[in-house]
Amino acid sequence: MSGLEVVTSWYLILGALLFIIGGTGLLVRRNPLIMLMCVELMLNGVNLSFIAFADRFGDVHGQTVVLFVLVVAAAEVVVGLGLVVAVLRASPHATADDLSALRG
Residue 68 sits in a domain whose CATH number is: 1.10.287.3510
Does 3 fall in a domain? Answer: no
Q: Which of 20, 51, 11, 14 is nearest to 38 (CA)?
A: 20
59: left (phi over 0), alpha (psi -120 to 50) or beta: beta
Domain count, the chain: 1
Residues 19-47 have pLDDT tens digits of 999 999 999 998 888 998 999 999 999 99
**What is the predicted pLDDT for the residue at 54?**
94
Task: Tell me what the pLDDT averaged over the chain comes to.
Answer: 88
Report the percent of the chain where pLDDT is more than 90.
59
pLDDT digits (tens, 9 = 90+) for 41-91: 999 999 999 999 999 999 999 999 999 999 999 998 898 888 888 888 888
- Is residue 80 in a domain? yes
* pLDDT, position 101: 66
Number of H helices, E strands in the chain: 4, 0
Would you say residue 104 has pLDDT above 70? no
Q: Is residue 2 part of a domain?
A: no
